[in-house]
Chain A
Amino acid sequence: MHELSLAQAIWRQVVREMDSRPRCRLAALTVVVGTFSGADPESLEFALRLLVEESVWPTAEVQLRTEPVALKCRSCGHDYQTETFDLACPGCGGFDCEVTGGRDLRLESMEIIRDDETPDSS
């Protein structure tokens, strides 16, 4: 529901990183959306693309990767993952689990090109 403001927060991070790298252009950014992060990947991608298109690097690629929920069963110690919200442990069938991953929304990486190089020189 607040994907636009999340996208703006991500974008502020990108701009801050780019500010510290003069003479560089943004080529791509990769964002990881955990299944348990509460953010909707599609709306987030839409909002990010809008921000990119209005920026000084309008051709930068927006890459989104979803991350499954990682769980650890407190009863039997089994580590497992789920792409859905079925939290049952495949080991013992129990539900008492700890979420160990898939809760974050993070700016994983960005790709930049130095202005004095052409993209073809790679």
Chain B
Amino acid sequence: MRRRIRLEKKVVSANDRLAKQLAERFRAAGILAVNLMSSPGAGKTSLLEETSRRLGGELRLAAVEGDLATERDAERLRRAGMAARQINTGRGCHLSAAQVAEALDAFDSPGRPLNLDSLDILFIENVGNLVCPAQFDLGERQRVVIASTPEGDDKPVKYPVVFHTADCVVLNKMDLLEATLFSRGVFRQHVRELAPKARILELSCRTGEGLEAWLDWLREERAEAKKGGVPP
């Protein structure tokens, strides 16, 4: 006799459990954890480099960097003055909460964890990918999605899940606007229809235009995180 057994097992529930533990650690330390997501080449690392140069003297920053291979991004950030730990995912297309926890626990070297109490902001730079990272919570307080003008103004409608979950959408490479067919109005409209409450920040890491608004957003969110409590 065939017998049906109801299971209702969520496949990413193991990740969700670990992500909750991370969120609790971040909350207890009163730090702002930011999950940065974008397609490859949109400017996640460039934004963190500029952030380090401009905010590093004022706030204590650190980053966990996700890439399939190489230590390049962590090295770039260290050169820009930010403590950074690289995670190589091999063939993995996203970061998981377990990988982030592992990186934090062996930040400087095995057995030498990152002291969250000595931090203000932890950036988690995800693997460049607009699909899979959206599904994996990393315990972050804020999700930032970065798009760039050469990618086209229709990225939000093509990758709606990741944009829907964004708390802040950064539009980078504004210095290239004239060279592309990108429409700021169309892009904003698409974002509004997926994430009406998300902050939209236009900037250029290359020229520095618009970066002050990004730094202000970080300052505000870090102040909120320090107060504790659950984000709205």
- Write the residues of chain A forming the contact surface with B, with a CB cutoff of 8 angstroms: 1-2, 5-6, 9-10, 13, 17, 27-28, 36-39, 85, 87-88, 94-96, 99, 104-114, 117, 119, 121-122
Contacts and interface: CB of A to CB of B under 8 A. Distances in A.
Nearest to B10: A106
Contact of B132 (A1, A13, A121): A1
B157 A119 contact: no
A99 B94 CA distance: 22
Nearest to B15: A9
Interface residues of B, number: 29
Contacts of A113: 1-3
Contacts of B194: 85, 87, 95
Interface in B1-22: 1-12
Contacts of A105: 10-12
B135 A108 contact: no
B8 A119 contact: no
Contact of A87 (B1, B12, B94, B164): B164
A121 B3 CA distance: 12
Is chain B's interface secondary structure helix, strand, loop, or mixed overall? mixed
Given A2-B132, A105-B12, A109-B6, A114 B157 contact: no
Contact of B131 (A1, A17, A28, A119): A1
A18 to B, nearest CB: 10
B93 interface: yes
Is chain A's interface secondary structure helix, strand, loop, or mixed overall? mixed
B92 to A, nearest CB: 7
A17 B5 contact: yes
Interface of B: 1-12, 92-94, 129, 131-132, 134-135, 157, 160-161, 164, 192-194, 196-197
A111 B129 contact: no
The list of the 3 closest CB pairs from A to B, nearest first, reads: A85-B160, A38-B135, A107-B9
A85 to B, nearest CB: 4
A87 B197 contact: no
A109 B9 CA distance: 9
28 contacts: A1-B131, A2-B92, A2-B93, A2-B94, A2-B132, A13-B11, A27-B2, A28-B2, A36-B164, A85-B161, A85-B194, A87-B160, A95-B192, A95-B196, A96-B196, A96-B197, A104-B10, A106-B7, A106-B10, A108-B6, A108-B7, A109-B5, A109-B6, A110-B4, A112-B2, A112-B5, A113-B3, A122-B2
